[in-house]
């Protein structure tokens, strides 16, 4: 353990003793200060040859407030991880001021940053570790994780127990998504992100009861999938192999996408196999209510997904 960097200030409540086990700082409601610090700490790898791994956490709607200085920090070479949680209208009890809508677009569009919105705890672990692995490197990048505090049944992840299959799932999660349900002769594909995977799976089960088999794809990173589409067209260096695993041409069906964010985020997926699509999401300010009421208000509840799937079928 080395010196306390604030020992010359007797009035400060901040005490930072260097130690190899990491350091936690609480800045309160000071998002721009937080990301400014993250940018500086994230640039030590290029300035002094000593990489640090700064991870900042804030309410997801306040990512917009912090975006400009964080983006500048990335531009200047600072590599860090920003976690926005809770996110979306899933924060139903707190009203529109704390319900983020546009942040999935920020994650998709921010240069020098890879964004993830995992659905399950194991997905969060894998994407966070992958994001840390990209920090402090000349070819590295920052990351943005959009998380939710909504409880989700972890058994729905159906993580393979076979080591090879489990590693395959991990690679898919890190690359942008994975097929969660495959049904014979599927007539429609439901694509869900994050906390909405519960409704996506429920909708698929209800469609199956009506004799309409539905595949379910869990997307972890719209940005990486868009880069994969661009790479397939010769316009980038993304990993296009993931597209064949999520949306193989021989399983091409109409697509219904759903996320707790703006619906345009996943609109590009229909172009992979040139299929019909309906994009569900949030495009107006949120309201206070129960989770079911708020989801129904925005048309992202299970009933809305089922109706969208029925409407898009030929």
Which DSSP letter does residue 26 get? -
pLDDT band at residue 269, thresholds of 50, 70 and 90?
very high
Q: What three-state secondary structure class fits 190?
A: strand
pLDDT band at residue 171, thresholds of 50, 70 and 90?
very high
Percent of the chain with pLDDT over 70: 92
Q: For residue range 10-60, list pLDDT tens digits in order.
A: 666 666 666 667 777 777 778 899 999 999 999 999 988 889 899 999 999
**Is pLDDT above 60 for 98?**
yes
Tokens of 48: 């002094």
Mean of the per-residue pLDDT values for the chain? 92
Smallest CA-to-CA distance from 178 within 124, 237, 121, 221 is with 221
**Is pLDDT above 80 for 250?**
yes
> What are the structural domains of the chain?
31-146 (3.40.50.970), 154-312 (3.40.50.920)
**Is pLDDT above 80 for 215?**
yes
Q: How far apart are the first and last CA of the chain?
A: 67
**Is pLDDT above 90 for 84?**
yes
Mean pLDDT on 251-259: 97
Q: What is the pTM of this model?
A: 0.90
Most confident among 29-38, 93-102, 180-189 (mean pLDDT)? 180-189
pLDDT band at residue 6, thresholds of 50, 70 and 90?
low
**Is pLDDT above 60 for 299?**
yes
275 Cβ contact list (under 8 Å, min separation 6):
252, 253, 254, 255
Predicted confidence at residue 1, as pLDDT, reads 47
3-state SS, one letter per residue, for 49-114: CCCCCCEEEECHHHHHHHHHHHHHHHHCCCCCEEEECCCCCCCHHHCHHHCCCCHHHHHHHCCCEE
pLDDT band at residue 271, thresholds of 50, 70 and 90?
very high
Percent of the chain with pLDDT over 90: 78
């Amino acid at each position: 353990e080395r010196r306390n960097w604030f020992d010359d200030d007797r009035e400060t409540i901040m005490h930072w003793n260097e130690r190899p086990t990491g350091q936690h700082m609480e800045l309160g409601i000071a998002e721009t200060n937080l990301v400014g610090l993250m940018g500086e700490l994230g640039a030590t790898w290029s300035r002094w040859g000593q990489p640090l791994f700064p991870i900042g956490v804030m309410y997801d709607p306040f990512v917009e407030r912090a975006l400009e200085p964080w983006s500048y920090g990335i531009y200047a070479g600072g590599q860090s991880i920003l976690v926005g949680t809770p996110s979306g209208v899933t924060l139903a009890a707190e009203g529109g001021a704390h319900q983020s809508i546009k942040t999935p677009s920020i994650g998709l569009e921010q240069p020098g940053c890879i964004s993830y919105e995992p659905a399950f705890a194991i997905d969060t672990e894998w994407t966070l570790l992958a994001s840390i692995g990209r920090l402090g490197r000349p070819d590295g990048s920052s990351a943005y994780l959009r998380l939710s505090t909504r409880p989700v049944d972890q058994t729905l992840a159906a993580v393979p127990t076979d080591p090879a299959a489990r590693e395959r799932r991990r690679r898919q999660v890190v690359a942008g998504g994975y097929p969660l349900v495959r049904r014979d002769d599927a007539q429609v594909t439901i694509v869900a992100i994050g906390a909405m995977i519960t409704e996506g799976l429920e909708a698929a089960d209800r469609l199956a009861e009506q004799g309409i088999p539905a595949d379910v794809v869990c997307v972890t990173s719209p940005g990486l999938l868009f880069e994969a589409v661009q790479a397939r067209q010769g316009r980038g260096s993304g990993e296009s192999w993931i597209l064949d695993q999520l949306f193989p041409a021989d399983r091409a069906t109409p697509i219904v996408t759903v996320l707790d964010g703006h619906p345009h985020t996943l609109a590009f997926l229909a172009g992979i196999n040139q299929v019909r699509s309906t994009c569900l999401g949030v495009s107006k300010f949120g309201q206070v209510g129960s989770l079911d009421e708020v989801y129904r208000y925005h048309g992202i509840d299970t009933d809305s997904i089922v109706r969208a799937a029925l409407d898009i079928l030929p």
